[in-house]
């Protein structure tokens, strides 16, 4: 991964490049972003630049031995940690360390470095469970970084989704951040930094990665998916500056989006006051895995936003595809004006309840009842 491969973010890249060149890289950098903005791209490009032996024109060379190893994610002094759930390791030691998942991790990063939590869990086979970074893994981090560098240079630990550390694991990490070893660096990538304990946050240099510029994103989408300029600009607008979200929308446009269909049906049944049919939907949602349930809530929030924009006559910023416009326009004329704010609150409350491991039958029964009585 090179700086030249990163979409946009030239100011952030310039700052990081100068840190490396002047040997002033902080021992811990936390990249924060909304999913798909490119934080992992930036982190990996910076790590490659730090390891590279033949830097050229402000970028890693991409061909030296160090670049080859970091590019393949197999450098012995580059370590990775991300949320896992070892209960999926049937017939194996449930205390098994994260290396069990490394082949799947490498494949995901190479194929889709814009991924979010749900994509990670699906890739490593735990989509029906929440992952976490346990104290066992925190101890493993300490052991790895306590060893001498294999190749006599720096050591780097990249932690994906540090917000999934439990309290005990975070406290373990904190000790290392407070007393960093020489030539040892932590790179953290978070989509929800508010859930990281404040003492860890205070030990990190925080880099907030903004949305990718509209024109830059549209150009990349047009090239990657063979879109004309109008189509590329439309999908860039839909995504809110997220390449990951845009790619997912484009890939799924010719497929029936199950979450989209289900939420539209839920709204229609609420309007028709068909309580019995709504029961069937909440039961199917309750049977899903937790990340799939969260995905439903996230997708539903976006659909509700589109309907609200259409109801206000702001179709140009609803970013609604032709295939769904007529359906959403019809719904916009039937939904009470005060429901949109309430609906947003209901879906956000459901997401929070999923995170807190509330019984999903309670969550989705309550959500459907609220829609039924308030829409």
Domain ranges of the chain: 3-208, 215-252, 256-374
Given the candidates 1.20.272.10, 3.40.50.300, 3.40.50.2300, 3.30.420.40, the CATH classification of the domain at 256-374 is 1.20.272.10
* pLDDT value of position 10: 94
Cα(151)–Cα(49) distance, integer angstroms: 16
In sequence order, the 6+-apart residues with CB closer than 8 A to the CB of 121 are 83, 127, 129, 130, 131, 291
* pLDDT value of position 87: 66
Q: Which helix (H) or strand (E) holds 206?
A: strand 205-208
Cα(182)–Cα(316) distance, integer angstroms: 53
Below-50 pLDDT ranges, the chain = 90-91, 254-256
pLDDT in tens, 242-283: 999 899 888 765 444 788 889 999 999 999 999 999 999 999
* pLDDT value of position 255: 46
The fold of 3-208 is Rossmann fold (3.40.50)
Backbone angles phi, psi at 326, to 5 degrees: -65, -40
* pLDDT value of position 253: 59
In sequence order, the 6+-apart residues with CB closer than 8 A to the CB of 28 are 177, 180, 185, 186, 187, 188, 203, 204, 205
In sequence order, the 6+-apart residues with CB closer than 8 A to the CB of 37 are 209, 210, 211, 212, 241, 242, 243
* pLDDT value of position 324: 82
Give CA 95 to chain center in angstroms: 26
| C-alpha torsion sign, points 359, 364, 369, 371 | positive
List Cα–Cα distances, 134 to 113, 139, 164, 195, in angstroms: 24, 9, 9, 15
Query: Could you tell me the two tokens for 235?
Result: 């999908």
Cα(224)–Cα(326) distance, integer angstroms: 29
> Contact 300/347 with Cβ under 8 angstroms?
yes
Query: Could you tell me the two tokens for 76?
Result: 């012995």
Query: Could you tell me the two tokens for 163?
Result: 């917000």
Cα(239)–Cα(1) distance, integer angstroms: 24
* pLDDT value of position 85: 83
* pLDDT value of position 256: 47
CA atoms within 13 A on the CB side of 188: 30
* pLDDT value of position 289: 84
DSSP labels, 156-225: EEEEE-GGGB-HHHHHHHHHHHHSPPTTEEEEEEES-GGGS-HHHHTTSEEEE--PPPHHHHHHHHHHHH
* pLDDT value of position 252: 66
Cα(236)–Cα(371) distance, integer angstroms: 31
Same fold, 3-208 and 256-374: no
Q: Is 59 exposed, middle or buried (0-12, 13-18, 19+ CB in 10 A)?
A: middle
SS3 363: helix
Other beta carbons within 10 angstroms of residue 276's beta carbon come to 7
SS3 78: strand
Q: Which helix (H) or strand (E) holds 189?
A: strand 184-190
3-state helix, strand, coil in the chain (%, to 5): 60, 10, 35
């Amino acid at each position: 991964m090179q700086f030249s491969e990163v979409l946009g973010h030239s100011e952030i890249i310039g700052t990081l490049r100068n840190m490396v060149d002047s040997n002033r890289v902080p021992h811990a950098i936390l990249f924060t972003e909304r999913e798909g903005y490119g934080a992992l791209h930036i982190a990996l490009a910076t790590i490659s630049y730090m390891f590279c032996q033949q830097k050229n024109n402000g970028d890693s060379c991409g061909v030296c031995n160090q670049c080859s190893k970091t590019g393949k994610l197999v450098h012995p002094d580059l370590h990775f940690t991300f949320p896992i759930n070892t209960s999926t390791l049937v017939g194996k030691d449930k205390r098994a360390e994260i290396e069990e998942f490394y082949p799947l991790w490498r494949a995901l990063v190479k194929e889709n470095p814009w991924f979010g939590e749900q994509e990670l869990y699906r890739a490593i086979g735990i989509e029906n469970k929440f992952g976490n970074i346990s104290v066992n893994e925190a101890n493993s981090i300490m052991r790895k970084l306590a060893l001498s560098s294999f190749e006599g240079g720096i050591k780097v630990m990249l932690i994906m989704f540090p917000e999934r550390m439990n309290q005990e694991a975070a406290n373990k990490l904190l000790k290392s951040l407070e007393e960093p070893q020489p030539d040892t660096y932590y790179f953290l990538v978070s989509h929800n930094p508010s859930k990281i304990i404040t003492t860890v946050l205070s030990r990190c240099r925080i880099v907030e990665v903004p949305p990718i510029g509209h024109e830059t994103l549209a150009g990349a989408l047009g090239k990657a998916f063979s879109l004309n300029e109008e189509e590329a600009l439309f999908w860039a607008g839909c995504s809110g500056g997220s390449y990951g979200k845009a790619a997912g929308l484009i890939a799924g446009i010719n497929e029936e989006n199950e979450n989209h269909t289900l939420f539209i049906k839920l709204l229609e049944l609420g309007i028709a006051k068909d309580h019995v049919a709504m029961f069937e939907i909440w039961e199917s949602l309750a049977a899903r895995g937790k990340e799939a349930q969260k995905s439903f809530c996230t997708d539903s929030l976006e659909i509700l936003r589109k309907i609200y924009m259409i109801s206000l006559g702001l179709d140009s910023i609803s970013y609604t595809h032709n295939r769904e416009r007529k359906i959403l326009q019809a719904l916009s004329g039937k939904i009470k004006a005060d429901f949109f704010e309430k609906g947003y609150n209901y879906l956000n409350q459901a997401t929070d309840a999923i995170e807190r491991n509330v019984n999903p039958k309670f969550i989705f029964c309550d959500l459907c009842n609220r829609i039924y009585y308030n829409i």
